[in-house]
Structure 1
Amino acid sequence: MSDPPDILKYFHEEPALLEPVTPDADPDARRRTDRSAPPEDPSVPLEDLLDTRDAYRGYLAGTNHADDQVGLTALRSPDVYVAPLVEALGRSWWGRGTAQHGVEALDQDSVRRVLRAPARTTVLVTAGAPVDSERITAVAGRERRRTVEALRALLDTAHIAFFPEPAHDGYDWSFFSATPMRDRLVTAFRDHPAPATRRFVLPYQNARSESKFYFDRWQLTDSPLPDYIEEV
């Protein structure tokens, strides 16, 4: 019996409203019982509070059913996502933030290695020209909700910001852009056939529960796919 195919899932939210900045000392303060003391001047500029620019985000996840491993980087053929990402979303300059709070410029071979194995990488950025290191380190290795303003600033100059997300086995990738990405990435998937991998595209809003996120573990054989899931 042949091995089951790998599964790649691309969740998209286009547009995705980045949360406006709040004047809390801690962005999670409203959910905590032990609040830290507010700063001396807790005010936030009005233009920041009203800044509700849209962003566009995606999330790539995967399952290697043959080896019972869950995670995009656990797929047996990483090029099923590496090549489309580099082709559709990449620009002439790439850089990464490191776990030591540094920034490194990357050549194309290094970019592909990082996408396959992002250990010690906190953020991966592509742009038409080198991006200021401070804009990259401002979002590196921190909770996304705490870096909304910094992420906006980064996307003013960077084309895409990629973030490695720990999975059960290896990593997934989330990514943000100031411009739509879905159509470009889907076209790149179709331009790169992957006979040993099934690739699915669906809105993030339709995969918020655990059972819907892992639909490939039960829904591919037990019932027809809902209309919002597209196979490419």
Structure 2
Amino acid sequence: MRQQIFKLIFQHDMRLDQLAKRNANKTKEEVEATLADFMKPDPVYSKFYLSGTDLRSETFGLDQLIHYPDIIKAIEGAFPDHRLYTDGGLQEEDLESVIRNLELGEVVIMSNKGGPETDIRGLHIDTNSNVGHLKSELKEALEEGLIVIYKEQAKDGFDLHIFSKKNIYTKMFYPLQELLPDAFRFFSINGKKFRSERHFYFETWTLDKPPHGFEEVFPESVL
């Protein structure tokens, strides 16, 4: 499967307050509360983008990988005490089935605290929106301790965008690493190193010499 590329793109220590609405949209009391919180430690969150490329067919999208079902199974297995929720409520199907039934821009929630208080419908986006742009609904979900998974459009299928207040990188890394070496080539990528869309598709032009911060993972790799 040397022609199949799996990319796990991560960004840690993102400021949670940056997901809140701008001051112009806040009441005077909310602004004063924000200032009062200034001296408190900054709450942070992590986000992960999972994508895939089949170089042989030149198709792009996580679901384009032959071992896509194994990737989803690995992620679900990393959180055995979590249950799945959509805007239709608790889901009894496995994560792959739930994702298959989502529309692009919709979310599935992973929670180990029972049903979420957050209005899941408020988390959905349309295909022309960017979930990373100051979304107070997402902030509320992360503060609740939920793991939020977006189904996002890719060139030839879809990718997954995962948000969590806790840094869950290690939890996902080892189950995904266990799929090596036969499933695909696995690259763990620091999202803060991206400079352009060309960097995102590095595998099409500099696979043998990836940019700085783009690390290939092997069966013997350790964190």
Structure 2 residue 150 is the aligned partner of structure 1 residue 175: no
**SS state at 1:168 partner:** coil
**SS state at 1:59 partner:** strand
Q: Of 82, 87, 94, which aligns to 2:77?
A: 87
Per-residue CA deviation, residues 118-171 of structure 1 (Å, 9 max, x unaligned), is 436611100113333643222222653566322222123343101111111111
Structure 1 stretch displaced more, 9-18 or 77-86: 77-86
RMSD between superposed Cα atoms in Å: 2.7
Structure 1 or 2, whichever has the larger Rg, is: 1
User: Which residue of 2 is the match for residue 214 of structure 1?
Assistant: 201
Alignment of 1:21-36 (within 5 A): 21-25=21-25
1:13 offset after TM fit, Å? 0.5
User: Which residue of 2 is the match for residue 69 of structure 1?
Assistant: 59
CA distance in 2, matches of 1:16, 1:188: 24
CA distance in 2, matches of 1:161, 1:194: 29
CA distance in 2, matches of 1:175, 1:66: 27
TM-score norm. by structure 1 comes to 0.77
Question: Contact between 1:125 and 1:158, CA under 8 Å: does it hold in 2?
Answer: no
Q: How many residues in Structure 1 have an aligned counterpart in Structure 2? A: 208
Question: Contact between 2:72 and 2:96, CA under 8 Å: does it hold in 1?
Answer: yes
CA distance in 2, matches of 1:131, 1:216: 40
TM-score norm. by structure 2 comes to 0.80
Question: Contact between 1:16 and 1:55, CA under 8 Å: does it hold in 2?
Answer: yes
1:70–1:204 Cα change, 3 Å: same
Q: Of 201, 205, 213, which aligns to 1:228?
A: 213
1:189 offset after TM fit, Å? 1.4
Aligned residue identity for 1:192: L
CA distance in 2, matches of 1:43, 1:69: 50
1:48 offset after TM fit, Å? 4.4
